[in-house]
Amino acid sequence: MLVPAEESQRARKVVKLVDALLELLPHPHEAQPTGAGRTARPGYTELMQILMVCTGNICRSPMAEAILRDELARRGCVDIEVASAGTWADLGNRAMPEALEVLAARGIDFTAHRSRSVDLEELTEADLVVAMTSVHLRELRALAEEVGTKLVLMKELVEMELDDPRAPDLSSRLAGLLSAKRPEPRRALDLDDPMGLPVQAYERAAAEIELGVKALAEALCEGPEPASS
C-alpha cells in the first residue's frame, strides 16, 4: 500500500508523462507546412502573419490558405506564414470534400486542416487579414476596430494599384500594399460561398482565389515570379 508521499510522487510522474505525450501531438493547425517549410502557429513567430478569413473555415479560407502557402513555397518566399479561420466556425471540422478535391487537382494535400474560429489576439497580431466578402470585413471590424487598416478583400487584390518599383524589404512592401489605391466597393468583389453547391462552384472559387493570391505574392515576395516548369 502506498503512503501519501509515494502517491503524490507517482501522480506527479503521471502528469509529467501526459504532458510529454501531449507535446508530441501536432496542433490541428500545425499539420501542414507553411510556404517557408515550417509549421505555422499564428502569433508565435517573428515572421509576417497573413490570416485568411471566411465564415465556417471549411471552404474558401482553407483553400486560400493552402493556395497561398503553395505559391509562397514555389516562389521561395520564406518570411511569411499563413493561417485561416472563420467568423462563425465550429472547432475541428475538416475542409469540405469538394475543397479538398480542387486543391488535390492542384497537387496540394490539405486533408489535415481543421476549422477554427477567429481568435481576437491572432486577429490583432496578424500583419494582413484577407477576407472573402464585405460581410466578413464588417464582422472583423466589429471584433476589433483597429484591424480595419490591415483588412483587404481577396478579389480586391487583383485590382489594387501598387507603386512601382517595389520596396526592397517585406515590411515596406506590405505597407505599400495596404496604402495602395483600392477599387470602388461593389458586390462583384465578394468571393461567393460554394458551400452546398457542386464541385464546379469550388473550382470557380479556387480560380478566383488563385488570381488574388498571385497578386498578393507578386506584391510581397522579392523578385519576379518563377517560370513554370
Catalogue the active-site residues. 54, 60, 164
Which SS3 state, helix, strand or coil, does residue 135 take? helix
Q: Please tell me the distance from the alpha carbon of residue 12 to that of residue 107, in angstroms, as a whole number.
A: 46
Q: Please tell me the distance from the alpha carbon of residue 226 to that of residue 221, in angstroms, as a whole number.
A: 11
Burial per residue of 112-144, b for 16 or more beta-carbon CB atoms within 10 angstroms, e otherwise: ebbbbebbeebbeebbbbbbbbeebbebbeeee
Q: Please tell me the distance from the alpha carbon of residue 161 to that of residue 164, in angstroms, as a whole number.
A: 9
Ranges of beta strands (E only) in 70-216 are 80-86, 128-131, 151-153
Q: How many CB atoms lie within 10 A of CB 146?
A: 9
Contact 82/213 with Cβ under 8 angstroms?
no
Which of 226, 117, 217, 112 lies closest to 174 in space, CA to CA? 217
